[in-house]
């Protein structure tokens, strides 16, 4: 069969990269959710690849770079763009649609403006264009504040984001009502639970649905310091299996899966992360992060590997959990009430903020979380795939 070509844009969003499509540009049989769409995205990224390299596709063999986005004019009132995110597995024939990607969210507003999805009258000649995004995976509103110069998206600038080599223009993102799904922000009703895990023991954990479902544990409780880098963990199958076991039992406790076997088909969510009080460490770039620069340390896993920086959605979870007194994240940051934290991750630091409130029934809710990211188009044109691959 011949190859076909599909309009696509290859974009860096935050500390991730992915391929963005307009829904209307996809082949008709892939415009609806289902097997054809999943097979198409797998082929575009180069999955499943038993070599785990994605040589025959646009993926770069990491969870941060095996991503696909589908955008369209919003069907929701008072929104500009509908945003659907797929996390494409590397070595398995699987696309996970269970959550959002906060890093790639930074690219959604800019793409929607550049591709004519946002109404022209909303775009200033110079200034900030406010784009209201409907995140279809989780049914939430996100607001992106995109810089505009001479009527076009401004991508260059001096905003530096640890985990990204070059500076770019700052994009401020607001995640409104960021609790994931329709359930409680703390699905068990507790800010700290005990996970009883065979061969590991009882581990205190904060289980939160905000930005993305996340399982937080203390680094000290599992024999870590919080200063670890990818090389300290990702090459050791036993360590990776250890964290996957914690993630699976956390997912079960949160009610995200009915049995442990389901965790294998829900790799994108929940995330698992460990936290520790602030201390100095050397980031993966060689830069020294001093103790006084940060409030706490956080290390998080994505698709079974320690992330090189921090997922955007997990950053929302960190901000929200830090704002709620007595969560493990809050205690690692020093406890008390706080509207923002700066945390240390493997590539450097990030500042995030959140607004929370406790309801009369004792439940906690979050009204919004805010962070700064950047995005840049790397390449645009067509991606080619064999016509019989989906």
Known catalytic residues?
A: 101, 311
Q: 274 pairs with which residues across the strands?
A: 217, 299
Angle at 365 between CA 375 and CA 132, to 5 degrees: 35
CB 230 within 8 A of CB 346: yes
Identify the helix (H) or strand (E) that includes residue 382: strand 375-386
What CA–CA distance (Å, rounded) separates 181 from 98? 10
What CA–CA distances, in Å, run from 222 to 79, 295, 310? 44, 21, 20
DSSP annotation of 39 reads H
Tokens representing 291 are 């103790």
CB within 8 Å of 112: residues ≥ 6 apart: 71, 80, 81, 118, 131, 133
Which sign does the torsion angle of CA 227, 230, 235, 237 carry?
positive
């Amino acid at each position: 069969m011949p190859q076909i070509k599909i309009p696509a844009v290859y974009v860096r969003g935050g500390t991730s990269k992915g391929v963005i499509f307009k829904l209307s540009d996809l082949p008709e049989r892939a415009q609806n959710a289902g097997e054809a769409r999943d097979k198409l995205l797998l082929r575009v990224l180069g999955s499943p690849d038993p070599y785990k390299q994605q040589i025959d596709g646009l993926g770069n063999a990491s969870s941060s770079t095996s991503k696909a986005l589908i955008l369209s004019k919003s069907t929701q009132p008072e929104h500009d763009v509908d945003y659907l995110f797929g996390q494409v597995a590397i070595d398995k024939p699987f696309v996970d649609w269970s959550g959002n990607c906060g890093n790639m969210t930074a690219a959604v507003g800019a793409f929607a403006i550049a591709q004519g999805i946002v109404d022209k009258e909303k775009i200033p000649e110079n200034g900030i264009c406010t784009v209201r995004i409907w995140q279809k995976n989780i049914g939430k509103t996100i607001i992106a504040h995109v810089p505009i110069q001479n009527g076009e998206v401004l991508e260059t600038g001096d905003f530096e984001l640890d985990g990204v080599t070059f500076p770019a223009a700052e994009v401020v993102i607001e995640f409104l009502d960021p609790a994931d799904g329709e359930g409680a922000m703390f699905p068990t009703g507790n800010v700290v639970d005990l996970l009883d895990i065979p061969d590991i023991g009882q581990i205190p954990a904060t289980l939160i649905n905000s930005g993305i479902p996340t399982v937080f544990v203390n680094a000290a409780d599992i024999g870590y310091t919080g200063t670890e880098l990818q090389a300290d963990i990702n090459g050791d199958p036993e360590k990776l299996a250890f964290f996957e076991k914690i993630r699976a039992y956390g997912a079960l406790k949160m009610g995200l899966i009915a049995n442990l076997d389901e965790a294998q088909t829900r790799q994108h969510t929940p995330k698992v992360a460990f936290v520790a009080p602030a201390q100095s460490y050397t980031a993966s770039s060689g830069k020294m992060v001093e103790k006084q620069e940060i409030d706490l340390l956080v290390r998080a896993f994505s698709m079974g590997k320690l992330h090189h920086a921090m997922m955007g959605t997990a950053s929302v979870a960190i901000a929200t959990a830090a704002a709620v007194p007595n969560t493990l994240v809050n205690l690692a940051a020093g406890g008390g009430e706080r509207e923002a934290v700066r945390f240390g991750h493997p590539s450097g630091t990030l500042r995030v903020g959140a607004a929370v409130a406790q309801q009369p029934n004792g439940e906690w809710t979050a009204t919004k979380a805010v962070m700064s990211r950047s995005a840049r188009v790397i390449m645009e044109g067509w991606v080619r795939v064999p016509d019989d691959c989906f």
